[in-house]
Amino acid sequence: MTQLPIQMTVALANDETPASLCSRNALLVGRTARDFCRDAGFTFQNVVDGTPSALEALADRCRANVDLLAATAAVKVAERRYMIGEQILVRESLSRKTLRVCPRCLSQDIESGRGPERTRPYGRLLWQIEPIRTCREHGIALVAVSNDDHPHRVHDFAMLVQSSLSDIHRLASEAPRRRWSPLEDHLAGRLKNPGYGEALWLSTLPFYAAAKACEILGAVAAAVSASSRTPSPMRIGMRPGRSGMTSLQRERQASGAC
Ligand SMILES: [Zn+2]
Residues 42-56: tens digit of each pLDDT: 999 999 999 999 999
Q: What is the pLDDT of residue 229?
A: 46
Instruction: Give pLDDT < 70 ranges for the chain.
Output: 194-201, 217-218, 220-258
Strands, E assignment, the chain: 75-78, 81-84, 87-90, 99-101, 134-135, 140-141, 143-146
- Using the mean position of ligand 1's atoms as its centre, give its distance from the Cα of residue 224 in Å: 33
- Using the mean position of ligand 1's atoms as its centre, give its distance from the Cα of residue 142 in Å: 8
- Using the mean position of ligand 1's atoms as its centre, give its distance from the Cα of residue 103 in Å: 6
State the Cα–Cα distance between residues 52 and 66, nearest whole angstrom: 9
Q: What is the pLDDT of residue 257?
A: 38
Cα atoms found within 13 Å of the Cα of residue 207, Cβ hemisphere only: 32
- Using the mean position of ligand 1's atoms as its centre, give its distance from the Cα of residue 3 in Å: 32
For residue 135, list its beta bridge partners: 140
- Using the mean position of ligand 1's atoms as its centre, give its distance from the Cα of residue 171 in Å: 12
- Using the mean position of ligand 1's atoms as its centre, give its distance from the Cα of residue 133 in Å: 11
- Using the mean position of ligand 1's atoms as its centre, give its distance from the Cα of residue 137 in Å: 5
Q: What is the pLDDT of residue 256?
A: 42
- Using the mean position of ligand 1's atoms as its centre, give its distance from the Cα of residue 157 in Å: 16
Task: Name the pTM for this structure.
Answer: 0.81
- Using the mean position of ligand 1's atoms as its centre, give its distance from the Cα of residue 106 in Å: 7
State the Cα–Cα distance between residues 252 and 254, nearest whole angstrom: 5
- Using the mean position of ligand 1's atoms as its centre, give its distance from the Cα of residue 215 in Å: 23
- Using the mean position of ligand 1's atoms as its centre, give its distance from the Cα of residue 111 in Å: 13
